[in-house]
Amino acid sequence: MIRARRVRVVATLGPASSEQAQIAELHRAGADVFRINMSHADHGLMRTLVSRIRAVEKDAGSPITILADLQGPKLRVGKFADGPIMLADGDTFTLDADSAPGDQNRVQLPHPEILRALEPGHRLLLDDGKVALKVTESTPTKAVTVVTVGGKLSDRKGVSCPDTLIPVGALTPKDRADLDAVLDADVDWIALSFIQRPEDLAEARKVARGRAGILAKIEKPQAIERLDDIIELSDALMVARGDLGVEMPLQDVPSLQKRITRAARRAGKPVVVATQMLESMITAPVPTRAEVSDVATAVYEGVDAVMLSAESAAGQYPVEAVATMDRVARSVEADETYRSILKAQRYEPDATGADALAAAARQIAETLSINVIACYTSSGSTVLRVARERPTAQIFALCPRVETARRLGIVWGVTSMTTTPSDDLEDFIADAGVRVVDAGLGRTGDRLLAVAGVPLDTPGVTNVLQLAFIRSRDER
């Protein structure tokens, strides 16, 4: 399926979109990647969703990408004896290790590792920041706080610790079990939540062993502080603006979004922007003007993908939400300003042969008005280098492994497809030419750019750039 846009659309599946017919409709409307949120899906439901997506993929005749999003460590307060309490500014309130139900003065924080890590001056944000506390005294078993933003607090509300380096890994026991399950189901990407440091990626990478790409969700201040190291150890990034906006000042989120997306592009790693992009479409058939501008801003920034969460998972208008994303992206990409922004953000290629060839491919395609850059790629690295250049030409990824073709579905501007494994460069070029003609992007005799690594089927090698002519099927 050749999309009429370069940015990709990620749609979260849920009660409003879990049936096979609904998934197919979302795909037709423009969804390129389907996200399964493991905070809400058990292993049985996850396997069912994967099976239904693969059935839609078979009917569509083109690879579809699946992203499994692990829950990560969820911090919550305990329960209250007599229901919700009201905290006023200036009140003293204690979080402790006592399992007894809470009251107006205290409640359990059933996370001893957090209590040990808290220090005077640290902030605690409860219920998505609706209540804010500041630690005044701390011991390994309790933290005495003063209320800086009052409000209602009830059972099991979430806790964020923006100033505290949490001394636990990003994978909880639930996440480890979920990781094994999604890998067995052959998902393409695994998103890790609440990453704080590059070490948080190590365990998942060790378990995955290359069977799925690892996507780091940036949603904590500690991750921003070590962003470059996290980018280096991840395969892709997500700007998770929901939790990022809770733990950091809201006014800082737009600039952080730009910083993260540009750092990812510089590194040649796919980047996804997520959270509340079309939030009003959970209950309304059309978005607000501000939401359209938000989506457009991300597309102008050159991100690889934009994501729908509750809009497609539980909203009343999931197909309309995907279609709206598609229309906004296509409108932005048709704007002359879009191309000038991408050009202004272009980075000098790294001093490697592969990056130099990718930059040359983009420049030659633009100079000669070539419609397609065809890449033969076993691991996907060739395509990532070309996509980093944000060329005006379509990027065709011909992959001998279906796993690679699926994984590339999250990458800007890439149409991925499977091909027969080959060790002959001319066969690859001939095959690419036929596909270009079949897609309506060229005719026999048109020029085509081919990028590959010779010998073919050697992962991580990009050493050939060839200008060729499209041959007819009879000439193959």
Q: Please give the Cα distance from 444 to 476 (Å, whole number).
A: 12
Active-site residue (options: 275, 382, 419, 462):
275
**Is the peptide bond preceding residue 349 cis, with omega within 30 degrees of 0?**
no
Active-site residue (options: 3, 47, 76, 262):
76
By the 8 A CB rule, do 462 and 385 touch? yes
Q: Choose among 263, 259, 211: nearest CA to 236.
A: 263
- Length of the chain, in residues: 476
- Which residues, in sequence order, are CB contacts of 338 under 8 Å at separation 6+? 299, 300, 332
Q: Could you confirm whether 76 is annotated as catalytic? A: yes
By the 8 A CB rule, do 176 and 130 touch? no
Q: Could you confirm whether 174 is annotated as catalytic? A: no
Active-site residue (options: 106, 157, 217, 385):
217
Q: Choose among 378, 13, 422: nearest CA to 210.
A: 378
By the 8 A CB rule, do 360 and 366 touch? no
CA diameter of the chain: 83
φ, ψ of residue 151 to 5 degrees: the values are 165, -175
Q: Please give the Cα distance from 304 to 390 (Å, whole number).
A: 10
- Which residues, in sequence order, are CB contacts of 189 under 8 Å at separation 6+? 33, 65, 66, 67, 68, 212, 213, 214, 215, 235, 236, 407, 410
Q: Could you confirm whether 217 is annotated as catalytic? A: yes
Active-site residue (options: 5, 6, 8, 35):
35
Query: Cα 310 to the chain's mean position, in Å?
Result: 15
Could you give the residue numbers annotated as active site? 35, 76, 217, 275
